[in-house]
Amino acid sequence: MRKLFASALVLTLVATSAAGLRASEPRAKDIVDTAVAAGSFTTLATALQAAGLIDTLKGKGPFTVFAPTDEAFAKLPAGTLEALLKDKAKLTAILTYHVVAGKVMAADVVTLKEARSLQGQMITIDTSMGVKVDDANVVKTDIVCSNGVIHVIDSVILPK
């Protein structure tokens, strides 16, 4: 009986300490807040707003986002971004093509040949020389968010 009481006391102390630790640690931000805070995804944030996808990517998830930087959007032909921002259906299709359901970490990505996007089409994954999703290079991986993970890419990928 004494051992049982001592074990219960130890478990209570450990649980209380762990709960206290978690309460004092900063909480991970969701995908949208993480991207906005990074400062290099302002075009992506603008596009997500225009497509009405902010609430989705702030949702429970988990999601994996292959996030193009502002420089990636700047590579699009002149006028393309402006036209997309006015065409919600096309913009939504392109943005959801950058998102995969589930939390796919870099260690998982390198074992895949393709992944189904939220848009519905398959994204090709090539790990023969670095990591590429379609024609975009993955330049930073495993930015962990409260509702998934972001992998940074250097080009906007387009559905086929």
Contacts of 95 (CB under 8 A, 6+ apart): 47, 48, 51, 53
Give 28-153's CATH code, choosing from 2.30.180.10, 3.40.50.970, 2.60.260.40, 2.60.120.10: 2.30.180.10
Q: Are strands 63-68 and 148-153 parallel, antiparallel or unpaired?
A: parallel
Compute the distance between CA of residue 86 and CA of residue 50 in angstroms, rounded to an integer: 8
Nearest 5°: the CA angle 132, 65, 123 is 45
Q: Is 143 helix (H, G, I), strand (E, B) or coil?
A: strand
| 6-22 residue pLDDT tens | 333 223 333 333 333 33
Tens digit of each residue's pLDDT (9 = 90 or more) over 90-148? 999 999 999 999 999 999 988 999 999 999 999 999 999 999 999 999 999 999 999 99
Domain ranges in the chain are: 28-153
Beta strands in 14-160 (DSSP E): 63-68, 99-101, 114-116, 122-126, 132-133, 136-145, 148-153
Length of the chain: 160
How much is the pTM? 0.82
Q: What is the pLDDT of residue 110?
A: 84
Three-point CA angle 50, 45, 54, nearest 5°: 65
